[in-house]
């Protein structure tokens, strides 16, 4: 589940000892310090850590009566179907592609697949592909040998090696650089990994689970995701519905969250109904924040509707978010006419392509309230490319030129 400032890399179990591979026998380090559980760990959400951190998974709560999988709330029909599929995959090692909006619980299902499968005794390592720069992500995934690049003073096992025998979860796979996607495809096809700077491959037995909150077919069409990688990952597709379409899951999730935070606190029936009828544009992640905020702001033992602090800016259904509110409705003819008018104005004022690009990117960011993931999708870019373009050291268009473009 992405929009938290989640740790880029997360490891859930010690990798069993194995015979060292040539040039890759550097010791592995992990943080074994125990963390006290909080609301996010109660439903499997990732903790907020800006740095790379390897640690054990928090304990998961008991399953709901209908889910049969610890840590998974499955009262809705769609979640029950997913739980049934996860159980059927216990002896299957095929790649899985999980799709769904940000915050719906894609990483929870990935962990459930690992925990219910025949690799449960081995490592589960989660990587946020959007949180690491391209060069760092490559070295983290594949490892490197001494001298591979400046600063590589010792051999280092990559995450494929650390996850050997277990599962590697690639979150936000559509944000991975296209060049790195080709190396990932080779691992999926040949099960062989070559560390950076090495001339030798080694066999790697890893189950790949990938996830994305993007419209993945559009990413393939745009060329930001290789079609061959998409077909190789999409062997077992799983589509997670947004929380607003899983009304039966909201109440048990809320009750689990408040119990995990303070067993003495409860939600009144009226408060539960308020939560159930809200649109939840942020999905489970937003529900976690609302419960945390409400407990912190109210001293009441039984929380009533007035004690439920939902951000006033989000008192709206997902259909009325900032992007949809500001998106004009035109037919194809209107859109073509608007684009032509835009080009005429730009050409008449001798704007450069750079002027137009920078002004247009800023306009889209304004429309999306600064949401770079949504902005990148509208612009037809992956988020890494958008960040690069925003960070270019160029002279920006003057306010007058920018105003002339967007008016």
pLDDT in tens, 199-229: 888 999 999 999 999 888 888 988 889 999 9
Token output for 166: 């277990």
pLDDT on residue 40 = 56
Q: What domains are there in the chain, each with its CATH number?
A: 9-239 (3.40.50.300), 244-318 (1.10.8.60), 325-406 (no CATH)
Q: Mapping DSSP to helix (H, G, I), strand (E, B) and coil, where does residue 51 land?
A: coil
**Which pLDDT value is given to residue 376?**
83
Helix (H) / strand (E) containing 376: helix 372-379
pTM equals: 0.66
pLDDT value for 341: 62
Q: What's residue 50's pLDDT?
A: 35
Strands, DSSP E only, in 3-95? 9-11
Is residue 26 exposed (0-12), middle (13-18) or buried (19+ Cβ within 10 Å)? middle
Instruction: Count how many residues are written for the chain.
Output: 407
Helix, coil or strand: residue 239:
strand
> How confident is the model at residue 67, as a pLDDT?
55
| pLDDT given for residue 360 in this prediction | 85
* pLDDT computed for residue 3 by the predictor: 40
Quote the pLDDT of residue 343.
75
Q: pLDDT tens, 360-400?
A: 888 888 888 778 888 888 888 877 788 778 876 444 445 44
| Phi–psi pair at 61, nearest 5 degrees | -75, 170
Report residue 11: phi and psi, to 5°: -115, 135
Question: What radius of gyration do the chain's Cα atoms show?
Answer: 23
75-112 as b/e, with b when 16 or more CB fall inside 10 Å?
bbeebeebbeebeebeeeeebbbbbbbbbbbbbbbbbb
How high is the pLDDT of residue 392?
A: 64
Q: What is the pLDDT of residue 394?
A: 46
**Per-residue pLDDT of the chain in tens (407 residues, 90 and over written 9):** 434 444 677 666 544 433 344 343 333 333 333 343 455 555 555 544 333 333 334 444 444 444 588 879 999 999 999 999 999 999 999 999 999 999 999 999 999 999 999 999 999 999 999 888 888 898 999 998 888 888 888 888 999 999 999 999 999 999 999 989 999 999 999 999 999 888 888 999 999 999 999 888 888 988 889 999 999 999 999 999 999 999 999 999 999 999 998 999 999 999 999 999 999 999 999 999 999 999 999 999 999 999 998 874 444 444 444 333 333 444 444 445 566 666 776 777 677 887 788 888 888 888 887 788 888 888 888 777 887 788 764 444 454 444 444 44
Which of 250, 335, 269 shows the shortest CA–CA distance to 79? 250
pLDDT at 402: 47
- Give yes or no for a contact between 4 and 40, defined as CB atoms under 8 angstroms apart: yes
């Amino acid at each position: 589940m992405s929009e938290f400032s989640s740790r880029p890399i997360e490891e859930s179990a010690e990798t069993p000892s194995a015979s060292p591979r040539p040039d890759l026998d550097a010791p592995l380090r992990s943080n074994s310090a125990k963390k006290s559980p909080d609301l996010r760990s109660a439903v499997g959400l990732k903790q907020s850590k800006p740095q790379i951190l390897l640690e054990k998974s928090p304990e998961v709560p008991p399953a709901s009566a209908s889910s049969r999988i610890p840590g998974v709330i499955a009262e809705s029909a769609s979640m029950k179907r997913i739980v049934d599929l996860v159980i059927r995959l216990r002896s299957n090692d095929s790649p899985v592609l999980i799709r769904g909006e940000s915050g719906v619980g894609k990483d929870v299902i990935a962990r459930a697949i690992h925990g219910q499968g025949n690799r449960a005794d081995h490592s589960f390592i989660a990587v946020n592909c959007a949180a690491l720069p391209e060069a760092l992500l490559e070295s983290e995934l594949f490892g490197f040998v001494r001298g591979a690049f400046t600063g590589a003073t010792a051999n280092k096992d990559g995450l494929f090696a650390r996850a050997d025998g277990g599962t590697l979860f690639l979150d936000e796979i559509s944000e991975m650089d296209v060049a790195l996607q080709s190396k990932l495809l080779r691992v999926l096809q040949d099960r062989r990994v070559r560390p950076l700077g090495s001339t030798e491959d080694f066999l790697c037995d890893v189950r790949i689970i990938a996830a994305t909150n993007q419209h993945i077919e559009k990413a393939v069409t745009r060329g930001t995701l290789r079609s061959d990688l998409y077909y190789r990952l999409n062997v077992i597709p799983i589509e997670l519905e947004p929380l607003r379409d899983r009304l039966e899951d909201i109440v048990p999730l809320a009750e689990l969250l408040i119990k995990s935070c303070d067993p003495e606190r409860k939600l009144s029936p009226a408060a539960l109904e308020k939560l159930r009828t809200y649109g939840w544009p942020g999905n489970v992640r937003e529900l976690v924040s609302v419960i945390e905020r409400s407990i912190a702001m109210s001293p009441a033992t039984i929380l009533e509707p007035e004690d439920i602090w939902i951000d006033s800016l989000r008192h709206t259904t997902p259909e009325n978010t900032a992007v949809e509110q500001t998106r004009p409705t035109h037919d194809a003819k209107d859109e073509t006419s608007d684009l032509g008018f835009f080009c005429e104005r730009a050409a008449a004022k001798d704007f450069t392509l750079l002027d137009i690009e920078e002004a247009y990117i800023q306009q889209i960011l304004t429309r999306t309230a600064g949401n770079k993931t949504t902005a990148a999708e509208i612009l037809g870019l992956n988020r890494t490319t958008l960040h690069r373009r925003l960070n270019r050291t160029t002279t920006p268009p003057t306010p007058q030129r920018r105003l002339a473009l967007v008016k």
